[in-house]
Amino acid sequence: MNLLFQVTVFSFVAFSSLLMIGVPIAGITNVSWNKTTLLTGIGVWFLLVFIVGAMSSFVV
The span from the CA of 38 to the CA of 43, in Å, is 9
Task: Identify the H or E element spanning 9.
Answer: helix 2-28
**Spatial separation of the C-alpha atoms in residues 24 and 3, rounded to whole Å:** 32
Q: Determine the 3-state secondary structure of 59 from DSSP.
A: coil
Q: What is the mean pLDDT of residues 2-19?
A: 94
Domains delineated in the chain: 2-56 (1.10.287)
Q: What rounded mean pLDDT belongs to the chain? A: 89
Residues 31-40 have pLDDT tens digits of 777 788 888 9
Vertex 43: Cα angle to 38 and 48 (nearest 5): 125
User: Range with the lowest mean pLDDT among 8-12, 15-19, 24-28, 53-57?
Assistant: 24-28
Question: Which of 19, 26, 23 lies closest to 46, judged by CA?
Answer: 19
pLDDT of the residue at 49 = 96
In this prediction the pTM is 0.80
